[in-house]
Amino acid sequence: MGFLQPLFLLFLFLFSHQAKAEDFNSLNNATNYLSGRKLGGRCNLFRGKWVYDASYPLYSSSTCPFIDSQFNCQKYGRPDNSYLKYKWQPFSCSIPRFNGLNFLEKWRGKKIMFVGDSLSLNQFQSLTCMIHAWVPNSKSTYIRRDGLASVTFEDYGVKILLFRTPYLVDLVNENKVGRVLKLDSIKNGNAWKGMDALIFNTWHWWTHTGRTQPWDYMQEGNKLYKDMNRLIAYYKGLTTWARWVNLNVDASKTKVFFLGISPTHYEGKDWNEPSKSCSGEKQPFFGVKYPAGTPLAWAVVIKVLSRIKKPVNFLDVTTLSQYRKDAHPSAYSGEHSGTDCSHWCLPGLPDTWNELLYAELFS
């Protein structure tokens, strides 16, 4: 099992009061189960390699009206474009080419919502651009206010929505206490109901500390914590989300997806080039195994999804995204200062996430 063995043992140690080794023989079996159960046991779309394809990208950033400046790398001066030309190729099958007209026809009159942090925004804008490229003259309406956004393709009645919530669980301001991250509470979930598909994502903000940490305390039940192990906190938060899904989702009406951990590339030691970051990278990592291994947060996701009662499709994009050290905005993110090795250029990697979403929606 390679690097998965110590990862699995650590995970059992962290959550031994709840985890059972017999649930799955290994984390590898678990992820194959989660990734493949809605594909009828066919090819694992998430194991493969990046190949050059001159027919990519699927749209131009100059003609899509939905891209934020922080993702619009070409507009803000990125001098190379080879990162746009890579296609994800599974080892033993192929991903269907995205067809925006087919998407609109099959999804006519339906609503799909992305729920999560700024990486959900990244994926939301990617999908709207992918569809728009197929119907550039079709009427669309873009509404954005506070943490909500939507694009409606009026001729088809298709609405793509975004609900921004960095932790999925509640973050509230309380008198005399301050900002509290409530690990066992989801009060915004009513806004997620009535969708035909939900795509959830969270992890990025769970690691923030110091000035960038947006909470003062964590709370579970009546107990406040100044801090706790972030993986344990993440597990508790995801368990609350899983409980919400079990109680509120009608699987006959709503397809649920969870996007795997989106990696960062700030530290070149992760791919055996310790003096580097994503800045200036022009091609993917082409090795057989990514040197940094699988993030521990991925194991938390696997554990929660393996125990959830309602069907959830796992978009296991972590490994394929780890290979894409070349695909971040770095210094080409508009008015955003510094080097961004967390988000992704558009067009770019999130288009592949959505090709995989497309494959699972219509498989």
Average pLDDT rounded to a whole number, residues 83-98: 96
Quick one: pLDDT band at residue 2, thresholds 50, 70, 90?
Answer: very low
| CA–CA separation, 160 and 141 (whole Å) | 10
In a domain, 355, yes or no: yes
Catalytic pick among 132, 265, 328, 343: 343
CB 255 within 8 A of CB 196: yes
Active site residue 343: yes
In a domain, 24, yes or no: no
* Structure confidence at residue 38 (pLDDT): 39
* Number of domains forming the structure of the chain: 1
**Residue 43 backbone phi and psi in degrees, to 5:** -50, 140
Catalytic pick among 35, 61, 117, 118: 118
pLDDT per position as a tens digit, 196-241:
999 999 999 999 999 999 999 999 999 999 999 999 999 999 999 9
| CA–CA separation, 312 and 10 (whole Å) | 25
* Structure confidence at residue 19 (pLDDT): 39
In a domain, 204, yes or no: yes
In a domain, 10, yes or no: no
Active site residue 208: no
Catalytic pick among 170, 270, 326, 340: 340
* Structure confidence at residue 8 (pLDDT): 53
**Residue 223 backbone phi and psi in degrees, to 5:** -100, 130
Residue type, 19: A
Residue 100 has pLDDT above 80, yes or no: yes
In a domain, 265, yes or no: yes
Residue 296 has pLDDT above 80, yes or no: yes
CB 57 within 8 A of CB 351: yes
In a domain, 97, yes or no: yes
Residue 242 has pLDDT above 70, yes or no: yes
Active site residue 118: yes
Average pLDDT rounded to a whole number, residues 61-82: 97
328 alpha carbon, distance to own chain's centre: 15
In a domain, 27, yes or no: no
Strands 158-164 and 111-116, bridge-based pairing: parallel
152 versus 336: the higher-pLDDT residue is 152
Q: Domain range spanning residue 250? A: 60-361
* Structure confidence at residue 22 (pLDDT): 36
Residue 326 has pLDDT above 90, yes or no: yes
Please tell me the pTM assigned to this model: 0.91
In a domain, 12, yes or no: no
Q: What is the CATH number of the domain that holds 261?
A: 3.40.50.1110
Q: How far is CA 99 from CA 85, 239, 319, in A?
A: 18, 35, 25
